[in-house]
Amino acid sequence: MSTIDRILEKFKDIVVRVPSMYSLSPSWYARVTPDLDRKVEEHVESWRQRWLLEPTAYKQNLAADCGYFARATNPNANVANLQIAARFTSWIFAWDDEPLQHLLCDELCSYVAGAVRSEDAFQDGVIMDLDVYLENRVQASAVYPVIVFASIVQDITLPAWFINHPVPKEMMRHINIMLSLMTLSLLAMNW
């Protein structure tokens, strides 16, 4: 058992009560961009009707009020950006509970984090050795999200035990490394 697993084990069955943020600062109030023409809600609703065909998932997503969430967390955004934020929040909420969809969310987060690390290194003038570059490239490539997304779009249902098994993870890693090396060689040919 890893150190993290041992630490997390200590927190099992512990209930944490989070106080209302409003009670901590009564003079503070949320700024919520008004959806005067219902453009944000209509946009996310059209997405829901197209992608959430299972009635329970649709109702849960509707109850989450992702349009309001987008408007409350982005009070200065324009309508087009609020529509993107609402659709993205709705998408994350809809797909976060299933093993394959959860994996996609994890891979997208890993992808963004890897891309930011690579860009930071580039901006700082850091020259990475091949192993460090490949590790960053593996995390910053869109291969993992694309593989998982293709499985979802094609209705390939993979059980959680398969997704979390070391062999498929290692296969995806090898595919990613091969594509990264191919990308490097193509870039080198153009220099």
Average pLDDT of the chain? Answer: 78
- Residue in this structure with the two tokens 């600062």, named with its chain if needed: 25
**Count of H helices and E strands in the chain?**
11, 0
Buried b (16+ CB within 10 A) or exposed e, 71-86: beebeebeeeebbbbb
Rounded Cα distance between 80 and 157, Å, is 33
4-30 pLDDT, tens digit each:
778 778 878 887 776 666 666 667 666
The Cα-based distances of 184 to 81, 129, 172, 181 in angstroms read 34, 13, 18, 5
74-132 pLDDT, tens digit each:
888 888 888 988 888 888 777 666 666 677 777 777 777 777 777 788 888 888 888 88
CA-wise closest residue to 66 among 96, 42, 49, 87: 87
The pTM for the full model equals 0.46
136, 180 contact by CB (below 8 A) = no
Checking if the pLDDT of 156 tops 60, the result is yes
Non-local CB neighbours of 181 within 8 Å, separated by 6+ positions: 134
Checking if the pLDDT of 179 tops 60, the result is yes
CA 133 to chain centre: 23
pLDDT of residue 127: 85
The domain segmentation of the chain, as residue ranges, is 32-95, 97-191
